[in-house]
Structure 1
Amino acid sequence: MIRSEVPLKRLVDPYRPITYGIVQAGPDTPGGTPYIRPADMTPNAGVLDPESLLRTTLTIADSYRRSTIRDGDLVVSIGPSFGKVMIVPPALAGANLTQGTARVAPGPNVEARFLYWALQSAIAVKFWESSVGGATFRALNLEPLSRTPVALMDLGEQRRIADFLDSEVSRLDELSALRLKQLATLSEYLLCAVSSIADGARDVPMVRLGYLAKVQSGITVDSSRDLSGDVVRRPYLRVANVQEGFVALDSVTEVTVPRQMAAVSTLRPGDVLMTEGGDLDKLGRGTVWRGELFDCLHQNHVFAVRPDPRKLDPDYLALLTRSTHARSHFESTGVRTTNLASTSSSKIRDLRVPLVDLEEQRVTVRRINAEVEKIAALRRALTDQLSLISERRQAMVTVAVTGQLDVSTARGADLS
């Protein structure tokens, strides 16, 4: 039976109400007061690195002393990544918060660890999701946060539930960490499998891609372009559509351009799509276009590499772009900015291709694809397990903090 619920504000220290922190922290100040941002918080485990927290001046911190945090307080992220929760450790006592986080100081008859778990229950999460405001900047305001429903129970029961969840959830978290480690290992295996396309061809000629394929540029979208003449409206691919190993067609934009322009930027089956910009590790990412959309165009930030069918197999080239050989080429030649990187058609043409005959290329593709499919199946299985662990974790937390589970007899029980 679910216990009666009270709003979160009934369970906090009456002298230290729920509040957010510093609105304008100013530049990072060595020797100043550290403060916590949503970006510093892990989903449910604290801060990423206390030593890396930004600091504000003592003057600014003093003006916001109402939101100074103490050992045992809770911090809840209320910005775009709302819902992350942590208990303040002794090392962070005296620190402060930013506007994107809120302090929740437990009252005298409230166990901080119980509140920590209660704010991770499905009840709290669903309440927050229904209360967030903002279209582009989604945030949880203090008023709905203060109304978050929490089951009311005595301090002794709160502690028993917290002890149970501390133990049982840690087992699930350890299992999740193991699955994540296995996924990372599979990613390494995948890279090794794909990289064998170049590693196993050390004694064959390395030929410049420009000698084996044509690089076609795409459409530049220009709202001021004159469209009064002979024009066509066609679907066209953007960088977001070109993923590793497949083309995502769930959201395809259409563009109206002169017919002559469309003629020189139309994709053909067998073209290898390679991205011009984005994250450094995605430069030159190659995916084979198989004619999924008729007369499809491509954005100028996506190059269409058209292999000479007498010399180069498209799937061979696409696999090569995922190898350490190609990644080293694009990462070393890419132009980097603060958050992004870009390549160019000339650098794509400069990629060296281990050139074996067409039949050997196709044999290599079949061999590597067989390995890739096995690894992909294992990755799907591990991802499914992670989802189930996450669901079980929240289910366990929810039934425990709402009093639906007798934690004195449920340790190690099956909650499925």
Structure 2
Amino acid sequence: MVQYSEANRDVGTTSEWSAHVPEGWKFVRLDSVFDLVRNTIRQKDMIEKTVFHYSIPSVQDYGDGRIESGDEISSDKFLLSGGELIVSKLNPRKATVLLTKPQGIPIVASTEFVVLRPKAIHPKYALYLYLSHWVREKISSVVQSATKSHQRANPSEIYKLWTPLPNLDEQVQIASFLDHETAKLDQLVEKKQRLIELLQEYRQALITQAVTKGLDPNVPMKDSGIPWLGEVPAHWQIVRLKFIAEVRSGVTKGRDLTGKETVELPYLRVANVQDGYLDLSDVATIPVMKSEIPRYSLRKGDVLMNEGGDFDKLGRGTRWNGEIEPCLHQNHVFAVRPHDIDYSDWINLYTSSEPAKRYFILKSKQTTNLASISSTNIQELQIPFPDKAERDEILEYVSSVTKKLDRLVSVIEHQVDLLREYRQALITAAVTGQIDVRQYSPDHAEVATP
């Protein structure tokens, strides 16, 4: 692959396109090469049917739709036949875009998608065009409404864009090139992500081994009497959390405080409390009465634990080190306050181990894909408890090893980000005529730098 020669370039003919484009490429408005699909199916007509549902979460999380019971779908949907290009109106920079496929059962899609049926454009080329950085940024620049968490584009801004377009044969060649090259990049990303998973599994196993078996492989063991815990060192105690800490609930959102004197203070929500760290990039505030501040305030050494939500959020937490002062916590985030701050790191480490997580799931109230645990059940958590000297030794060892693992994971995650950035740049370069792939052959591929 090479760049198009300057001789094959001419100046763009629309003010919306500031760069030169290859000779033979024509400017078109995209509604001239797509049909807009507006067919809908009512929610009541999906009852007792099995459908293939393209929701925005399923496309973002799995890269595809999901087979679902129509009884579980609560709103009207677009009715598809397969072969349509679906483009999310929400948060255009995320590029939630997909080509649908025939399924043998009714196919439906969220009405938050714009549904386009290619008629004078190669379907796979159309997919790459809408995945390109240029189109994503163009749509993002004209969003019609925005909230703190969502931007929404007007459908007409999505399918009435002006863009340079090569002839159909060249579209096929570009799509073939991108299929081959992005597949190679995706394989590299997949391998690196698998390596990250293995490192994280090792990290988890290391923590579990250390807090349940200690560091000495020859130490005498005893049965803990707890099915999900198994054997522990014979000289360790087993203590219930309620005897070494207090589990404190937080402030409830949405209370009516009309007529009462309040102050607005920052508070932690479930989204702020991740597994082993805090995400303080978006900390909300909440009104409370001055008399309530001591009750709901966090204190350095508190161990934060999420009440629930998705299964991965159940009991998830980390230690609070006074990052914001003062700071409150929501009622869905428990603050476990040790009677002795020296216990804090041990409690935090044990609650991230596999036995603790199994306990949280076992004692939780569960509905479809959701779970929650009460403060009472958290207080009853049984914790292996060596003496201070051994606790400190284990904590120091685990900290040393996990820091090395975390650094390695960070390096690999950066490599994944670079591969994804290159993939994005390659797509954009190909569909905007910055590289010439007309002579491309997979057997003699040399990818041009975008």
One of 173, 188, 203 as aligned partner of 1:190: 203
Q: Which residue of 2 aligns with 1:245?
A: 276
Select 1:273's aligned residue among 295, 304, 312: 304
1:115 aligned residue: 126
1:288 partnered with 2:300: no
CA contact (8 A) 2:267 2:285 kept: yes
Counterpart CA distance in 2 for 1:172 and 1:148 is 29
Aligned to 2:185: 172
**Which amino acid is the alignment partner of residue 289 of structure 2?**
V
Q: Distance in 2 between matches of 1:342 and 1:85?
A: 34
Matched, 1:76 2:52: no
Aligned counterpart in structure 2 of residue 148 of structure 1, from 161, 164, 186? 161
Percent sequence identity over matched residues?
29
Match of 1:370 in 2: 400
Runs of 4+ in 1 over 6 A off after TM superposition: none
User: Which has the larger displacement, 183-192 or 270-279?
Assistant: 270-279
* Letter of the structure 2 residue corresponding to residue 84 of structure 1: T
2:40 aligned residue: 22
Cα offset for 1:194?
Answer: 1.9
2:171 maps to amino acid = Q
Decide whether aligned partners of structure 1 residues 41 and 294 sit closer, same or farther in structure 2, where only a CA change above 3 A counts. closer
**Residue 143 of structure 2 is aligned to residue 132 of structure 1:** yes
Contact 2:266–2:285 (Cα < 8 Å) also in 1: yes
Residue-by-residue CA offset, 1:296-345 (whole Å, 9 max, x unaligned): 443333333222339x5211110111001111111111223455432222
Counterparts of 2:418 and 2:59, CA distance in 1: 24
Tell me the TM-score normalized by structure 1: 0.82
Deviation (angstroms), 1:27: 5.3
User: What's the counterpart of residue 85 of structure 1?
Assistant: 97
SS at match of 2:145: coil
What CA distance in whole angstroms lies between the structure 1 residues aligned with 2:50 and 2:263?
A: 61
Return the alpha-carbon distance in structure 1 between the equivalents of residues 334 and 302 of structure 2. 9
SS of corresponding position for 2:207: helix
1:252 offset after TM fit, Å?
Answer: 4.8
Query: Could you say which residue in structure 2 is the equivalent of 1:313?
Result: 343
SS in 2 for 1:131: coil
Segment drifting more, 399-408 vs 33-42: 33-42
Rounded to whole Å, the distance in 2 between the matches of 1:77 and 1:38 is 10
How has the CA–CA distance of structure 1 residues 305 and 105 changed in structure 2, closer, same or farther, with 3 Å as cutoff? closer
1:326 is matched with 356
1:413 aligns with 2:447: yes
Q: 1:133 to 1:339 in 2, by over 3 A?
A: farther
CA displacement 1:337-375 (0-9 Å, x = unmatched): 455432222212211111101111111111111222122
CA, structure 1 residues 107+348, in 2 after alignment: closer, same or farther (shift >3 Å)? Answer: closer
Contact kept in structure 2, 1:243 and 1:287, CA below 8 Å: yes
Specify the code of the residue in structure 2 equivalent to 1:75: L
State the alpha-carbon separation in 2 of the partners of residues 35 and 298 from structure 1. 37
CA distance in 1, matches of 2:62, 2:356: 38
* Aligned: 1:104 with 2:104: no
1:223 aligns with 2:223: no
Aligned equivalents of 2:375 and 2:204: distance in 1?
25
3-state secondary structure, aligned to 1:26? helix
Change (3 A) 1:387 1:40: same
Q: Which has more strand, going by share of residues?
A: 2
Task: Say if 1:11 and 1:106, in contact at 8 Å, map to a contact too.
Answer: yes
Distance 1:119 1:324, change over 3 A: same
Answer whether contact 2:238 2:385 (CA < 8 A) is retained. yes
Q: Distance in 1 between matches of 2:200 and 2:367?
A: 27
Cα contact 1:69–1:93 (8 A) shared by 2 = no
CA shift for structure 1 position 167 = 0.9
Matched-pair contact (CA < 8 Å) for 2:87–2:98: no
Counterpart secondary structure, 1:167: helix
2: distance between equivalents of 1:371 and 1:403?
Answer: 48
* Correspondence for 1:11: 33
Cα distance change of structure 1 residues 23 and 123 upon mapping to structure 2, 3 Å threshold? farther
Count of paired positions: 395
The SS at the match of 2:146 is coil
CA change 1:224–1:184 in 2 (3 A) is: same
The residue type paired with residue 2 of structure 1 is V
Q: CA RMSD in A?
A: 3.3
The gaps in structure 1 that reach 5 residues or longer are none
1:269-316: CA deviation from partner (whole Å, max 9, x where unpaired): 222222333333333334222233345443333333222339x52111
**Are 2:21 and 1:2 equivalent residues in the alignment?**
yes
Q: 1:44 to 1:326 in 2, by over 3 A?
A: closer
Mapping of residues 374-389 of structure 1, within 5 Å: 374-389=404-419
Instruction: Using the TM superposition, name which of 281-290 and 200-209 deviates more.
Output: 281-290
Write the distance in 2 (CA, Å) between the matches of 1:239 and 1:220: 13
The Cα shift of 1:185 comes to 1.7
State the AA in 1 paired with 2:273.
Answer: V
Unmatched segments (≥5 aa) in structure 2: 1-19, 215-231
How far apart, in 2, do the equivalents of 1:35 and 1:238 lie? 31
- TM-score computed with the length of structure 2 as normaliser: 0.76
CA distance in 2, matches of 1:33, 1:344: 36
* CA shift for structure 1 position 384: 1.2
